[in-house]
Structure 1
Amino acid sequence: MKTRAVRMYGEMDLRCEEFELPEIKDDEILVKIISDSICMSTYKLAKQGKKHKRAPQDIDVNPIITGHECSGVIVEVGAKWKDKYHVGDKWALQPALNYQGKLDSPGYSYRFCGGDATYCIMPHEVMELDALLPYNGEAFYQASLGEPMSCIIGGYHANYHTNKQNYQHAMGTKTGGNILIMGGCGPMGLGAVSYGLYTENRPKRIVVTDVDDAKLARAAEVISPEEAAAKGIELIYFNSSVEKAEEKLMEITDGHGYDDVFVYVPIRPVAEMGDRLLAFDGCMNFFAGPTNQQFTAEINLYNCHYTSTHILGTTGGNNDDLQEALDLAAQGLINPSVMVTHIGGLDSVAETTCNLPDIPGGKKLCYTQIDLPLTALTDFEEKGKTDPLFAKLDESVKKHNGLWNPEAERILLDHFHVEI
C-alpha cells in the first residue's frame, strides 16, 4: 500500500512524499491516520536531526516519519493481534515507549510509523506495551490531543507532598492548595488549567501567568474565572511583567505561597521565581523541555532543607494518563479544544513544524487525509467571504466559543470526502 507522509532526512530537512509501505508482519497493525497535532517536541527533533536521542543515525538514507499526537482507524490486523484489535476500530496512541530499555518512539525513530502520514504501520512493541488504546470518543482530534493532555495529567500525578510524621510521599497536587501555572497561556498551559478544574485533588486557587495581555485575554475567554468559580475554584490570570510581580503573586495567597508550581516555559528567571514562590512543602514541576542540554537555574537549597520545598521534572505520560485524558474528554469533563488555534492538511506539516516557535497561537492540528494551508481559526470569517467551506467552519467555531469542535471536524472531513 502507498502512503503519503512527512519524513525527516536531517536537521530541518522534512519532506512530504509518497512511498510504498511493506506488507505488515503477523505482529504488526496497519492504521489509517485521520488527525495529528503538531508537538513542539517534533520541532526539537527537526532542529537536532540525528543528534536527537531518539533519532536513528541513518535518517539521511532511511528517513523516519514524524508526528506522534495522532489518531485514526485500524485497517489491517496481524494474526497475533486479531483477538484484541479489529478492523474499523478507532484508536489513540501513547508514543512514549520504553521497550526493553530502548528509546525508540513513533514519530521519532521508525521508517514506517509516525503520525504525519495517511497510513502507517504500528510495530509490535506498540501493542506489546498496550500503547495502542481503543478510542470511543466523538472526534479524532480529541484523541490526538489526548497525548499532550496525558503529559499534563502525568505532571499533576507526579507532584508530591510530605509530612513530618513519616517519610511517605502524598502523590499529586495538594488538595485545597494554591496552584501556580507559569507561562500558562500556551496550549499546554491551558490544558493544565482545564485539568486543574477537574482533578480530584481540587485546589482552592489556580493562578496562571503570562507576559502577553492578548494571550491572557484569550485564555480568560476560553476558560473563564466564572466557569472556575462554578466549580468552587478561584482562577486568576496574571501578567507577570508588571512591577513587583513576585510580591503581588505572593499577596494573592495572603503570604502562604504556592503549594504546586508548574513551569511551562524554559526561561531561567521564570523557574527561579517559581522556586521563590513555593510554600512550605511546596513542589515545583519544571514541565518545559529546553533544547539547551546545559540549561540550569538557581534553586534555594536553604528552603529545600528548612521548609521542605522540592523540585522535579516530568515529560510524557503513561498509558493510564492517556486513558484518563480520553475518558475525561469523552465525558466533557475536560476540554482539550482550548489548545487548538490552527488547522491544516498534511501538505502544511513540514513548513509548520520547522517554523513552529515563530507561529503565534496554540496547537496546530493537522488532518492527514487532506491538503489545506495552515489556517488560524480567527481567519475563518475572512476566508469564509469567498470560500463556502470556511464560512461553515466559522459558523461552527463561533457556536462553540471560538473553539474547534467535533461538528467542525465533521464539516471538514465531509467536505473532503474522507472515508472513516
Structure 2
Amino acid sequence: MKTKAVRMYGKMDLRLEEFELPEIKDDEILAKIYSDSLCMSTYKLALQGKEHKRAPQNIDTHPVITGHEFAGVIVKVGKKWQDQFKPGMRFAQQPALNYKGSMASPGYSYEYFGGDCTYCIFPHEAMEVGALMPFHGDSFYKASLGEPLSCSIGAMHAQYHTKQGVYHHEMGLKRGGNLIIMGGCGPMGLGAVSYGVVCDYHPKRIVVTDVNDEKIKRAEEVVSPAWAKEHGVELMYVNTAAMDDPKQGLMDLTDGHGYDDVLIYVPIPAVAELGNQVLAYDGCMSFFSGPSNKDFRAKVNLYDCHYNATHIMGTTGGNNDDLIEANQLAADDIIDPAVMVTHVGGIDSIAEATKNLPNLPGGKKLAYTQFNMPMTAIEDFGKLGETDPFFKELDACCKAHNGLWNAEAEKMIFEHFGVTVDAID
C-alpha cells in the first residue's frame, strides 16, 4: 500500500513524499499513524544527517522516515504476532529499541519505520523487544506524548542515593526530599514537574527554575502550585535571573539544606554549574538535556563529590516500564501530557517545523499525519476564529480545558478534516 511520509535524505533535507510500502513479512506489523509529537532530537538528526550516530550511511539513496513519538492503530498483523495483536488495536510505542546492542531506532534509522507518515511497518526487532504496546486512552496525542514523558520518568527512576559505609544504592528520587528542575518551564520540564508531583517518591518540595517570566506564568497555570498542594507537595517556580545571588536564593528555599535531587533540563553550562552548587549532602544531579556539541563541558565541584557524597549522572530516553507507566498515568488522567503542547499541525507542516524547532516559540509541536494543516499555535485559535468558524469552536474547546489541547479537540479536528479512526475499544 502507499504511504505518505517525511523522509530525510541528508543534512536539513526533509521531504514529504508518497511511495509504496512493501508487503509485511510474517514477523512484522503494518500500522496506521495518527499522531506524532515533534522532538528536538529529530532536529539534531536533521542537523547532522548521516553524521548522526543513529543514521545509516546510505540515506541519500535509502532515506529514513523521521519522527519517533508516534501513535496509531494496527492495520495488519504478521502470522507470528496474531495471538498478541489484532487489527484495530490502538498502540503506543517505545522508540529506544536497544536490539542486540544496535543504536537503530524508528525516526532515525529505518526506511519504512517512523512516525511522520500515514502508514509504517514495525520490523521484527521492534516486535521482539516489546516496543509495540496496546494503548487504552481516549486520544492519540496522549500516546504520542508518552515517550517524552517516559524520558523524565526514567531520569527520576535513575537517580540514586547512598548510606555511608554501605555499598548499596537507593534508586530513585529521595523520598520526602527537595527536588529542583532547572530550566524546567519548557515542554519536557513541565512533564517532569507533573510526574514529580504524583510519583511514589513524593518529594516534599519541588522548585522549578527559568529565566523567562512568560514561561513561568504559563507553567504556573498549567501545572499549578495549588494542584501540587492537593498531592502534598510544595511547588515553587522561580526566576533565577531576578535573584541577586541565585545560589543563596535557591538554598534559602530549602532552609539551607540544599537539593537532594537536581535535574538539568537545558544544555547551558552555567545552569549545570549552579545545579551542582546547590546539591545537598548525598545529593544526585542528573544532566538530562542532551547537547549537540560533543565537547559540551561544565565545571563541577569534585571536593563535594568526595566529602559530601554528591553524585553526577545523566540519562537518555526511558525503558519499556517507564513508557508503560507514562501511558497508564495519561490514560487514567492522573497526568495530562497536554501541558507540553503549544502547537498543532498536519503532516504537511512537519518538515519545516522540524527544521525550525529552535526558532519556534512555546512547547511541543503536535502533528497529526492523516491531514494537512499549518503548524498553528493554540493561543492563535481565537484570532483565526474571527474568520473561520471551526477555529472559533476549537478555541472555545481548548479554553474550556485551561487553554490546553485535549481529547475533545482531537475528535473535533479529525471530524473537520474527515479522518476516520479505524480502531476497536
Note whether the superposition's TM-score is higher than 0.5: yes
**Does residue 336 of structure 1 match 2:337?**
yes
Q: Which residue of 2 aligns with 1:235?
A: 235
Q: CA–CA distance in 1 between the matches of 2:11 and 2:394?
A: 35
Displacement of 1:387: 1.1
Q: Which residue of 2 aligns with 1:115?
A: 115
**Does residue 314 of structure 1 match 2:277?**
no
SS at match of 1:360: coil
Q: CA–CA distance in 2 between the matches of 1:46 and 1:407?
A: 33
Displacement of 1:377: 0.4
Q: CA–CA distance in 2 between the matches of 1:289 and 1:84?
A: 36
Letter of the 1:212 counterpart: N
Identity of aligned residues (%): 64
Provide Cα deviations, 1:30-59, integer angstroms capped at 9, x if missing partner.
000000000010000000000000000000
Q: CA–CA distance in 2 between the matches of 1:245 and 1:272?
A: 11
Provide Cα deviations, 1:304-350, integer angstroms capped at 9, x if missing partner.
00000001100000000000001111111111110000000000000
Q: CA–CA distance in 2 between the matches of 1:122 and 1:224?
A: 39
Q: CA–CA distance in 1 between the matches of 2:177 and 2:69?
A: 32
Provide Cα deviations, 1:176-224, integer angstroms capped at 9, x if missing partner.
1100000000000000000001110001100000000000000001111
**Does residue 403 of structure 1 match 2:404?**
yes
Q: CA–CA distance in 2 between the matches of 1:75 and 1:363?
A: 28
Q: Which residue of 1 aligns with 2:66?
A: 66
**Does residue 377 of structure 1 match 2:406?**
no
**Does residue 260 of structure 1 match 2:286?**
no
SS at match of 1:100: helix
Q: CA–CA distance in 1 between the matches of 2:393 and 2:121?
A: 34
Provide Cα deviations, 1:265-288, integer angstroms capped at 9, x if missing partner.
000010011000000000001000
Displacement of 1:109: 0.2
SS at match of 1:168: strand
Q: Which residue of 2 aligns with 1:6?
A: 6
- Report matched runs for 1:9-408 at 5 Å: 9-242=9-242, 243-408=244-409
Displacement of 1:302: 0.5
Structure 2: give runs of 5+ residues left out of the alignment: none
Displacement of 1:229: 1.2
Displacement of 1:10: 0.3
Q: CA–CA distance in 2 between the matches of 1:160 and 1:334?
A: 24
Q: CA–CA distance in 2 between the matches of 1:375 and 1:147?
A: 22
SS at match of 2:103: coil
TM-score (ref. length: structure 2) = 0.98
Q: CA–CA distance in 2 between the matches of 1:90 and 1:106?
A: 18
Q: CA–CA distance in 2 between the matches of 1:343 and 1:301?
A: 45
SS at match of 2:74: strand
Q: CA–CA distance in 1 between the matches of 2:89 and 2:231?
A: 35
Letter of the 1:347 counterpart: D
Letter of the 2:9 counterpart: Y
Provide Cα deviations, 1:152-182, integer angstroms capped at 9, x if missing partner.
1000100000011411100000111100000
Q: CA–CA distance in 2 between the matches of 1:389 and 1:310?
A: 52
Structure 1: give runs of 5+ residues left out of the alignment: none
SS at match of 2:218: helix
Q: CA–CA distance in 2 between the matches of 1:91 and 1:367?
A: 15
Q: CA–CA distance in 2 between the matches of 1:231 and 1:142?
A: 22
Aligned residues: 420
Q: CA–CA distance in 2 between the matches of 1:229 and 1:65?
A: 43
Provide Cα deviations, 1:125-172, integer angstroms capped at 9, x if missing partner.
111000100101000000000000110100010000001141110000
Q: CA–CA distance in 1 between the matches of 2:232 and 2:129?
A: 38
Out of 160-169 and 1-10, give the one that drifted further. Answer: 160-169
SS at match of 1:228: helix
SS at match of 2:62: coil
Provide Cα deviations, 1:355-386, integer angstroms capped at 9, x if missing partner.
00110000000000010000000000010111
Displacement of 1:244: 1.2
Q: CA–CA distance in 1 between the matches of 2:285 and 2:170?
A: 15
Q: CA–CA distance in 2 between the matches of 1:380 and 1:36?
A: 20
Provide Cα deviations, 1:98-123, integer angstroms capped at 9, x if missing partner.
11111110000000010000000111
Letter of the 1:393 counterpart: L
SS at match of 2:23: coil
Q: Which runs of at least 4 in structure 1 moved beyond 2 Å after TM superposition?
A: none
Q: CA–CA distance in 1 between the matches of 2:277 and 2:120?
A: 47
